[in-house]
Amino acid sequence: MAERISDAEHAVMEVLWDEAPLTAQDVAERVDPARGWSANTVKTLLGRLLAKAAIGHEEDGRRYLYRPLIRRDDYVAGESRRLIDRLFGGKLTPLVAHLAERDQLTADDVAEIEALLRELKA
């Protein structure tokens, strides 16, 4: 997928990753109510995601059923890589160091990282 997904589009994708296929109305009912989106707003976002080939649709009578065309894991991997490339020169170590320096790593986080590193070395 060449085009990035906006934060609003991502909210729609999360709904579809959780459950699909869904109609536009189904998606509108499942998006966080705090967003205050109308069904028309959701339809606009679905149209943008269709144009970006992030979702597909099929006709079901007079309505469309929408489903993701990209897996959530693949999307997360791509976004993670972009963040690391943009902010840390493509290197993971500076990201971890930054989090550690800002006291954003708990003892449990450190233990999980250590366990992951042990597994990778094995």
> CB neighbours of 90 closer than 8 A, spacing ≥ 6?
84
Alpha carbon of residue 100 to chain centroid: 25
As a whole number, the mean pLDDT across the chain is: 94
Total length of the chain: 122
**Residue 103 reports pLDDT greater than 90:** no
**Residue 18 reports pLDDT greater than 80:** yes
Q: Quick check: 12 and 4 in contact, CB under 8 A?
A: no
CB atoms closer than 10 angstroms to residue 66: 24
Tell me the whole-structure pTM to 2 decimals.
0.82
